[in-house]
Each structure stands twice: as C-alpha cells, then as structure tokens.
Amino acid sequence: MAEQGMTARPEIEPLDDSSVAAWRREFPVLARRTYLNSGSYGALALSVKAAMEDYLRLRLEEGADWGHWVGRNEAVRAGLAQLFGVRPAEIAVTTSASAGINAFASCLDFSGKRNRVVVSDFEFPTNGQIWHAQERRGAEVVHAPVADDGHIPVEHFERLIDERTRVVAVTHVCYRNGRRLDVEAIARIARERGALFMLDCYQSAGSQVLPLGELDVDVAVGGTLKYMLGTAGVGFMYVRESMIEQLVPTCTGWMAQRDPGAMDITGYDPAPDARRFESGTPPVVGCYATEAGLAILERAGMPAIEQRIVTLSGRCLDRLSNAGIATATPREDALRGPTVAIRSTNDVALVEQLAADGIVTSCRDGNVRASFHFYNDDSDIDALLAALERRRPLVVSS
C-alpha cells in the first residue's frame, strides 16, 4: 500500500511474542506512556505519520492531484473489503459512523405497519440519537434493557423483535463496559422475523477477525480512528450486496451518484453499489492514514491480533480480580471486547491521576476504560495495577 514519497518502514515478522518489542517501536507514544486508550483513539504509528506527511508533501509541492486522491479513496475501499472478507462494491467510505447510519436510516419508510426500531441500552449515543430522530418520520424506537447481571441477554431482544420491526440496530461491543452482545443470535432472530439488521462495530473492528460477509448482517458501520489505527474523519459502511438495490438513500451527495463527473443538477441517479451511501468530497487526508493503518493490521495478521488482545485483556482481568478491584467487564472471552472497564468511585479523577502517572485511559459511566491493542504488553498491565493500588480510594473493591 506504500506510495511514492512515503517513508519506507522496515518489515516486521508476523505477530508473536518475540516480535512485540519491534512492533512497539512503531508506536512512539509507547516509549513515553502506558497507552491503554485504543477504545478512544488508537496509538499513532510511524508509518501512519509518514503517510500523512506524504499528503502534506504533495500539497506543498504540487498543490492538488484529485486523480491520485480518488485513487487513495478506492484503495481504502479495497482494504476495508479485504479486512472484512467482503467485496469492494459492498463498502462505502464515509466520513463517520454517523454518516453511515444516517444514510441507512434515510432509506427506510416508517409510515406502515413495520415502523419499529429495536436498539439496546448498550448503544453509543450516535446510534440511539439517530434512530430516535426517526420518530418524527413515524418510527417507534424500543430499547432492549440491561439485566441484573449487567448484560443484555438474547431473550430481551427476542421479546421486542416482532412483525412490526423494521430494523434491529445494535452495537457489537458496548463502549461503556466492554461487554459484547451475541450479535449472531440477535441477527438470526431479526432475519426470521423479517427485520433488517444493522451492526455498529466501531468498538470491535480492528481488534478481532470480523467476517461481515459470513454474518447475517445487512448493514455494518464503524470508523478507523480506534483499533483500525487510522485517524478521525474516515468511517465505513458495509451493505450486503443483495440489499443495495432496494436501499435508496435520500441523504446523499455528488460522490454518491452513478457518475459524479456528470455534475448533473437536474436529477438523482444513485450509484449501483455501496458508493450510493457516500456523500460529498472524499476524506482525503484520512484516507492516507487509513490505508497505512490497514497495512499494519494486514502485516500483523488479524487472527494474531485478536488472540493477543484476548490474552492481554483476560490477564488484566485476572490481575484485577486477584487485587480485589471490581470491574464491569465479564471474564468470559465470548462476552467481552478489547476494553476492560474498572469500576471507580470517581472515574474522572482516577483518569486524571493515572495520566499523572503516565498511564493514558478514558472513562465512561463510572468506569475507567483500559483498552488493549496488540502493541500492549505485560509491562502495561503491571504499570496499571501498580497505579491502581496507589489510588485505592478511587477504585471499587470487589
């Protein structure tokens, strides 16, 4: 994926324990901080920095090269398709997950009997807010509630998904607590009852093998700034090929047309593939970064990345349990994503004090989030546990 003008990076062997030190040198922040914040923003790699500098070099030396930039956008489309095991024609390169959800929502008619939208109480605000905005168009939005154990069982969705349901739109991994929903089972129920299924995989894409083409998913959305190691300003939308023709968005733009170059202002002619869910000018700078981030995931290998994250997050949970520190994240591998949520008496204060110790985390809903990627190692867990022991009044005991 390297382009002329980019700084070449040394090849690194496929991911294993012996290569982690070399990979860590690709992310300079790891030499300065214990970085456990990939669930907010992935660490910046030298190759991603070089890609963005390549864009700046072209701007300074040549001014503009739209043909080249559109080519970078198409390279990102192809890279995303490869990552998710789907066809490039099923991928829209968007500017955010919000843009993808809005485009999808604009396709749907809520005036008939099927006007119900099922979401969950695990959703990121974007998903909940966009679907509630459709209430003005006749949608009825219902939430699958959290059970007493902190999880949302499949049965809670089964009670809500019925013949009135137009779409089921849920997150894969909850951003607040790292809990993973059983999306395969939920999608199966949606399919059996004639509803569309949309997956928000922002908190899982790039942290695990995610073969969207093999899942019973109609639409999936996410972005590249977290575990996909890109930057803000680039999102993605997967739409199952058999669904594309029947989904016609009214939220659109010139790059979503069959022929953007026609510059036709007299009508609307959407592209025949997933590009119809895009809108305006491509996110040029972000595409440089995203292409480089995807190259890292390809070099490291998604199966190895997933296994390393599962191992590190599980090891962290075991250490926390042994230390008597409460978490909101389940220990079972199948029930969690890459984030370990640590219960806190004052999550904002704890994040600030951890930062003073050189440990970068984030907080949501009373939990401090330690989000693992493949570039983390045991020294990061050691630093986190030692710092939490020094801040015992700010953690909840188990």
289 and 326 within one domain: no
217 and 262 both lie in a single domain: yes
- Which of 269, 296, 323 terminates a domain? The answer is 296
How far, in Å, CA of 339 to CA of 175, rounded?
Answer: 8
133 and 218 both lie in a single domain: yes
pLDDT digits (tens, 9 = 90+) for 252-298: 999 999 999 999 999 999 999 999 999 999 999 999 999 999 999 99
pLDDT tens, residue by residue, 313-371: 999 999 999 999 999 999 999 999 999 999 999 999 999 999 999 999 999 999 999 99
* 274 and 365 assigned to the same domain: no
- CA 137-139-144 angle, to 5 degrees, is 150
For residues 132 and 218, state if they share a domain.
yes
176 in the same domain as 78: yes
265 and 140 in one domain? yes
CATH code, 126: 3.40.640.10
Domain around 245: 67-296
Residue 158 domain-assigned?
yes
Q: Is residue 18 part of a domain?
A: no
pTM: 0.93
> Looking at the predicted structure, is the pLDDT value of residue 1 above 50?
no
pLDDT, tens digit, 9 for 90 and up, residues 41-55: 999 999 999 999 999
pLDDT value, residue 389: 97
The answer on pLDDT for 2 being more than 70 is no
C-alpha to C-alpha distance for 46 and 292, rounded to whole angstroms? 10
| Model pLDDT for residues 214-265, shown as the tens digit of each residue | 998 999 999 999 999 999 999 999 999 999 999 999 999 999 999 999 999 9
Give dist(CA 77, CA 127) in Å, integer: 23
Instruction: Collect all residues with Cβ–Cβ distance below 8 Å to 23 and sequence separation of at least 6.
Output: 12, 15, 300, 374, 375
Contact (CB, 8 A) for 195 and 166 = yes
122 in a structural domain: yes
Supply the pLDDT for residue 183: 96
83 and 163 inside one domain: yes
Instruction: Say yes or no to pLDDT of 8 above 70.
Output: no
Confidence band, pLDDT 50/70/90 cuts, at residue 14: low
Q: Is residue 248 domain-shared with residue 279, that is, in the same domain? A: yes
29 in a domain, yes or no? Answer: no
Same domain, 287 and 312: no
- Mark whether 292 and 314 lie in a shared domain: no
Is residue 216, in this structure, part of any structural domain at all?
yes
Res 18: pLDDT = 78
Domain finish residue from 272, 296, 320: 296
pLDDT exceeds 80 at position 11 = no
In a domain, 37, yes or no: no
Residues 105-117 have a mean pLDDT of 97
Total domains present in the chain: 2
Same domain membership, residue 308 and residue 266: no
Q: Is residue 55 part of a domain?
A: no
Counting residues of the chain whose pLDDT is more than 90, the rounded percentage is 94
The chain-wide mean pLDDT, for the chain, equals 94
pLDDT at 39 over 60: yes
Write down which residue in 296, 323, 348 finishes a domain.
Answer: 296
